[in-house]
Amino acid sequence: MKGGKLIIFSAPSGSGKTTIVKHLLNQPELNLAFSISATSRPRRGKEKHGEHYYFMTLSEFKRHIKNDDFLEWEEVYRDNFYGTLKSEVDRLWAEGKNVIFDIDVVGGLRIKKKFPDQTLAVFVKPPSVDELKIRLKKRSTESDDKINMRIAKASVELATAPQFDVVIKNYDLDTALEEAHRLVADYIGVEVKNKI
Ligand code: 5GP
């Protein structure tokens, strides 16, 4: 595998990384395409197969693991597997795109290790674990149990921040969006076009 650049955004759930990734996807000069992950977790809200995720059963997911189809995969929460299919990155590279990932910290660091020379790994830091709790509750797409599971994982994830190429503090969204845009443009080697 070779091709364009890989841009990874990792962070605890609720840090705002998805919002940042969406913003970057709207910047044409960055020439980014979103890496659609595979997951065995159930669909939430308005999520669509083949747009937000490739939803699959646990046994389908395990079959892909056995076939060595994944670039990386993780059991992010119990029985909830997530992974990046090699075929997905190949597909986007074949379109001449730089690929952007919204994945967990372990998966993000794994991809960085596999492609050290063409990967920018960004960690998005939330203001505090309490603020994360508030954001996840506001989103209210999941049960309290699931939210608590995500919060318990957040502290472990926060400790991995120093292993990333760069940490963006998402204390103020507009500032974080602008910083992310500038960073990725610099890495790819293009001029920032639209400021927010
Ligand atoms: P959610 O269930 O909120 O969509 O995602 C839960 C966590 O799994 C998030 O941190 C998300 O970034 C991560 N995730 C999504 N896709 C992948 C993937 O392909 N690989 C890994 N390792 N994590 C992923």
Residue of the CA atom closest to atom 8 of ligand 1: 104
Label residue 170 exposed, middle or buried (CB < 10 Å: 0-12, 13-18, 19+).
buried
Spell out, as residue ranges, where the chain has pLDDT lower than 70.
1-2, 194-196
Closest CA to 187 of 7, 2, 1, 3: 7
Q: Which two tokens stand for residue 137?
A: 């509750």
The whole-number pLDDT of residue 148 equals 86
The whole-number pLDDT of residue 82 equals 97
Task: Give pLDDT tens digits for 8-54.
Answer: 999 988 888 999 999 999 999 999 999 999 999 999 999 999 999 99
Ligand 1 proximity of 132 Cβ (cutoff 6 Å): no
Question: What angle do helix axes 144-158 and 129-139 make, rounded to 10 degrees?
Answer: 150
From the CA of 10, give the closest atom in ligand 1.
Answer: 12
Ligand 1 proximity of 157 Cβ (cutoff 6 Å): no
The whole-number pLDDT of residue 150 equals 84
The whole-number pLDDT of residue 3 equals 77
pTM: 0.91
CB atoms within 10 A of CB 133: 17
From the CA of 39, give the closest atom in ligand 1.
Answer: 16
Residue of the CA atom closest to atom 10 of ligand 1: 104
Closest CA to 168 of 109, 128, 122: 122
Q: Tell me the residue type at 179.
A: E
Please give the domain boundaries of the chain with CATH numbers for all domains. Answer: 6-187 (3.40.50.300)
Maximum alpha-carbon separation in the chain: 45
Name the 3-class secondary structure at 49. strand
From the CA of 12, give the closest atom in ligand 1.
Answer: 10
Choose one of 35, 37, 88, 122 to mutate for the ligand 1 pocket test, by most ligand atoms within 8 angstroms of C-beta.
Answer: 37
Ligand 1 proximity of 13 Cβ (cutoff 6 Å): yes
The reply to whether 143 sits in an annotated binding site is: no
Name the 3-class secondary structure at 120. strand
On the CB side of 143, CA atoms within 13 Å amount to: 4
101 Cα: distance to centroid of ligand 1 (angstroms): 9
The reply to whether 15 sits in an annotated binding site is: yes
Could you tell me if 78 and 105 are in contact, meaning their C-beta atoms sit under 8 angstroms apart? Answer: no
State how far the Cα of 6 lies from the Cα of 188, in Å rounded to an integer.
9
From the CA of 110, give the closest atom in ligand 1.
Answer: 22
Ligand 1 proximity of 82 Cβ (cutoff 6 Å): yes
Residue of the CA atom closest to atom 2 of ligand 1: 41
* DSSP assigned state of 86: H
Residue of the CA atom closest to atom 17 of ligand 1: 103
Closest CA to 173 of 185, 181, 165: 181
